[in-house]
Amino acid sequence: MTASVLLAGCDTDQVSLATNAKANQPVPPKLLAAMVEKDMDLQSPILVRLFKQEAELEVWKQARNGQFALLKTYPICRWSGDLGPKVREGDRQAPEGFYSINPSQMNPQSAYYLSFNTGYPNAFDKALGRTGSQLMVHGDCSSRGCYAMTDEQIAEIYSLGRESFFGGQKAFQLQAYPFKMTPVNMAKHRNNPNMPFWKMIKEGYDHFEVTRQEPKVDFCEKKYVFDAAKPADAKRDPVFDASAKCPAYVIPEDVVAAVRGKQAKDEAEYARLVAKGTPVARMNTGIDGGMNKIFAAKIPEGSTGLSEGAEGTTLQMLAMAKAPGTIPGHVNPPKPNLDSVASAPAPQEEPVVAVSAPATGARVATAAPTTEKAGGFFSNLGRKMGMGSSDTTATTPPPQATASVAPAITTTTPPTAASRLKAAVTRFVPGHDKSKDAAKDAPKPAATVATKPAEPAKQPDTRLAATRPALKPSVADGTSEATQIMGAAPVISSNSFDSRFGAMK
């Protein structure tokens, strides 16, 4: 049975909630103190929200006043796919929508330290013919359609779910979104083909925002229905079928009024943002998922992919911050699908600004200064493709052109598949050093000045530890002493990310 569970890596009805030391780790003292401060009980119900673009997982917990309050936000180490719902088996998409997690979906024997199954596909997904299985929230920071955390993070999240079940919660709700459903995000993604689906699940997002209660979720006519109740004259509760016609139902008037008020404000702000020309988010279907900025800052050539960092925060600024958990050496940061990018049309950045030459009336692109400081993305891209230092990739200036001589007219060469792949690598691959390409493509001078040879670049040590410790220290406390339980194996320092990749800092 254990072998089959490890292969499945998630949902099973044959294992109990806490059968080993990993699954029995106590809730960390720091989280317990936060519960006391927010007037929460250890075993009160929880609710989980996930956001791909922000790469965050929120754990909400019910306070003694009956409403849910945010207990803790966890950065997501890795998620895969694109913004949008999962549609079919093998598409590498992490699911979006509303799901229910019961005790049988908690897996203490997971191959990914600990995990719980999201419950995808739900009745709505099945009504649309969507397929897929074993979509999880788990540890190990590795994703192929899942939401992956560090082992230390999933240990905390698992313990919170376990205690809520011990307190009598039959299932906790998982809400998975492409991004926080704010007017600015809706405006930025207004041209995305998934927008009708996102507007539908935003209804449930709004219900939770205004009530701070877990919304009741039903399905009918291949759509979501939130907080449905039986009409006043009905003798029994309405029966919902995701593929059938909706039964008669009502939504409590106070909830309807609060949701409509919020939506009216959101729509007014959305209209204002669109009217002022808020840029539409670029579709990056060639990139596989995302990663929170705190993890990307710790990985050589790390990238947030489709996730976004906070305003004014760079990966360099976060490089010295402590990572919330152990990052394994096999972590795979988001990168473009080069086969997809190479077969797609050449990427269009900004339109080339052209001027008419007085002598011939022909149109030529204006040339940018050739200094390194005045270069930037387009000049680097041009140099990488062997086209000089012009800000355009459409034409190539003559080798002898100077600031006082207009560039000669040349024939535009259509981009080849190889050139598109080269451009994709330059544009998408994190950490690609364009200055090295420029130096390689630049003409060699007649004489060179002897310089101190550069030290060879250090490569990341991708070796995994021979064995993984059974338990991980709490990310809430930052120390292992406060959360080490009796009989647990000590944390092996050589397995830490700082020691593995310390040479790269």
| Angle made by CA atoms 219, 224, 228, in degrees to the nearest 5 | 75
Q: What does 187-253 look like in DSSP terms, one character per residue? A: HHTTT-TTHHHHHHHHHHHHHHHHH-SPPPEEEETTEEEES-B--TT-SS-----TTSPPPS-B--H
Give the Cα separation of 152 and 324 in Å (integer). 8
Q: Pick from 153, 136, 154: which is nearest to 145 by CA?
A: 136
Phi, psi of 494 (to 5 degrees): -70, -15
With contact defined as beta carbons under 8 Å apart, do 36 and 482 qualify?
A: no
Q: Pick from 22, 30, 119, 14: which is nearest to 71 by CA?
A: 30
**Radius of gyration for the alpha carbons in the chain, expressed in angstroms and rounded:** 27
Q: Which of 77, 138, 141, 189 is catalytic?
A: 138
Q: Which of 146, 189, 207, 220 is catalytic?
A: 146
77 part of the active site: no
> How many helices (H) and strands (E) would you count in the chain?
14, 14
Helix (H) or strand (E) holding 390: none
Give the Cα separation of 3 and 9 in Å (integer). 10
138 part of the active site: yes
DSSP 54: T
Active-site residue numbers? 138, 146
